[in-house]
Amino acid sequence: MTTTLPRPATKFLKNRAVQRFTESTSGLIGLGLTLFITLAALLAPVLNPYDPASDRDYAARLQGPSLEHWFGADGLGRDILTQVWYGLRTSLVIGVVAVLLGLLIGVGLGLAAGYFRGWIEGIIGWLTDVMLAFPSILLAIAVVTITGPSMVSVMVAVGVVQIPKFIRLTRSMVLSLREQEFVQTVRAFGAKPPRIVFLHILPASLAPLIVQATLAIGTSTLEAAGLGFLGLGAQPPTPELGTMLSDAFKGGYSLSAPWTIVFPGLFITVTVLAFNLLGDGLRDAFDPKGGLSST
């Protein structure tokens, strides 16, 4: 006699989630903006004729938007469209890698804290509270200060900021699922804790984790831009949106050449907005009753 163990997700629910997402205006707008931003970043080397590191047109220095330089030129004669295009690419790479780092570590610690409880939960909970006691930007600055300014350091710093958020979310999901009937059933059949956690509890927790990860990419991009503005982000000649804003302010171009600030700031805003709208749409699709919440 064979017994089929219960599964938390079904094909019907997945189809219903897709249908609800297609009915979400904010979700569709966010998806469209996210696809546009991602494609623009990926196709930058193919579609853009300028090299962001070496190409300079000194005759066009601080020139406004024109047919030759659609977004104008900066104080070094560099094409701002090229800088924004490649800077957007840098920001997205930092945001995605940082969230993946925070997701992997945070989910692992959250699973351990929620399932095993006891002293493990106490230590992880104490660590989470300590990290959340610091404002995220200050924690990121501290990490970059220790490791030194670089693109890799920014990824690590922003990823560290995301870890406690994923720990809390995962732990809360595990605490609500570990006593559910389907978990009790597989435990009664003799399943070991790793199998229960990774094959049953974790899949049932994916929906809120996907939502949180999507929202976190937007906040990570913003935090990376903040570090770049402070001179702690990706170092020249690597283009980065926050660094572009910093260069414009330091050069005193905010009033005389506002396009040096407007376009990098605009793309930072659009990127954050795109992932926030996409995250809201996914949250509505996975949980139309509003039970999912981000931390």
Q: Is the dihedral of CA 108, 109, 113, 119 positive or negative?
A: positive
Q: Is the dihedral of CA 285, 266, 97, 178 positive or negative?
A: negative
pLDDT of residue 53: 62
pLDDT of residue 98: 94
Decide yes or no: CATH 1.10.3720.10 for domain 15-47+78-286.
yes
pTM of the model: 0.84
Report yes or no: 26 and 277 within 8 Å, Cβ to Cβ.
Answer: yes
pLDDT of residue 50: 65
pLDDT of residue 8: 46
**pLDDT one digit per residue (tens) for the chain, 295 residues:** 344 444 544 454 457 777 788 888 888 999 999 999 888 888 877 776 666 666 666 767 777 788 877 887 887 778 888 888 888 888 899 999 999 999 999 999 999 988 888 888 899 999 999 888 888 888 888 888 888 888 889 999 999 999 999 999 999 888 888 777 777 787 777 778 778 888 888 888 888 899 999 999 999 999 999 998 888 888 877 888 888 888 888 877 777 788 888 889 999 999 999 999 998 888 888 775 555 554 4
Distances (CA, A) of 38 to 149, 220, 278: 25, 15, 13
pLDDT of residue 105: 94
Distance CA 146, CA 138 (A): 12
Structure letter (DSSP) for residue 3 = -
Residue 50: CA atoms inside 13 Å, Cβ hemisphere, count?
21
Q: Is the dihedral of CA 80, 82, 88, 93 positive or negative?
A: negative
pLDDT of residue 6: 46
Domain spans of the chain, in order of start: 15-47+78-286
Which tokens is 104 given? 């992997």
Q: At what angle do helices 151-177 and 80-116 cross, to 10 degrees?
A: 40
